């Protein structure tokens, strides 16, 4: 149930993000989700795409520093407290979240939360025990 995310290092300068989206678009890579963590001087672009290995190869060919990271995608009920109930379960079980971001499903009204967690296998285990719906890579690529 792990999903592979691509992260790319970018200088915090005008037009840099577009250089990434351009090379991916030219090779027909579809970006399913994207978020940016930024500092004064640089940013890290994190994204889910439909063809991870191909995208990595394209980016490396274009001199971007990038890497793959395993993350967890969780379906979050679109009701008040929906996210909170999930975070409480992680918290009770001492799962530390390094970062998180969200996007919205197209077909349903649920949100998808992406979590970067160091103890990923433990988190998957706990999610399954507590009836948290994990989203598979296939689903992200094809259905959402």
Cβ proximity to another protein, 22 vs 99, nearer residue: 99
**According to the binding rule CB under 8 A, does residue 15 interact with another protein?**
no
Contact 72, 2 (CB under 8 A): yes
- The C-alpha angle with vertex 18 and arms to 12 and 19, in degrees rounded to 5, equals 85
The stretch near another protein (CB under 8 A) out of 60-68, 72-80, 87-95, 130-138 is 60-68
Cβ proximity to another protein, 20 vs 144, nearer residue: 20
Taking the complex as a whole, how short is the minimal distance between the CB of residue 108 and another protein, in angstroms?
Answer: 28
Select from 25, 26, 30, 37 the one that contacts another protein (CB under 8 A). 37
**According to the binding rule CB under 8 A, does residue 33 interact with another protein?**
no
- 31, 95, 98, 109, 111 from 105: Cα distances, Å: 14, 25, 23, 6, 6
Cβ proximity to another protein, 70 vs 143, nearer residue: 70
* Closest-CA residue to 8 (of 22, 20, 26, 18): 20
Contact 105, 112 (CB under 8 A): yes
- Binding flags for another protein, 82-121, as an x/- string (CB under 8 A): ----------------xx----------------x-----
Question: For 135, which DSSP code?
Answer: P
N- to C-terminal Cα distance for the chain? 16
Q: Which residues bind another protein (CB under 8 A)?
A: 5, 7, 9-11, 16, 37, 39, 41-42, 44, 46, 63-67, 69, 98-99, 116
């Amino acid at each position: 149930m792990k999903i592979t995310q691509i992260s790319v290092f970018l200088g915090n300068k005008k037009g840099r993000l577009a250089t990434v989206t351009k090379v991916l678009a030219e090779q027909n890579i579809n970006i399913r989700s994207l978020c940016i963590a930024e500092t004064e001087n640089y940013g890290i672009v994190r994204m889910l795409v439909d063809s991870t290995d191909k995208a990595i190869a394209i980016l490396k060919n274009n001199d971007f520093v990038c890497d793959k990271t395993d993350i967890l995608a969780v379906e979050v009920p679109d009701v008040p407290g929906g996210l909170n109930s999930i975070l409480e379960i992680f918290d009770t079980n001492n799962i530390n979240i390094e970062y998180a971001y969200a996007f919205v499903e197209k077909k349903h009204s649920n949100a998808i939360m992406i979590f970067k967690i160091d103890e990923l296998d433990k988190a998957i285990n706990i999610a399954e025990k507590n009836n948290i719906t994990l989203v598979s890579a296939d689903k992200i690529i094809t259905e959402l």
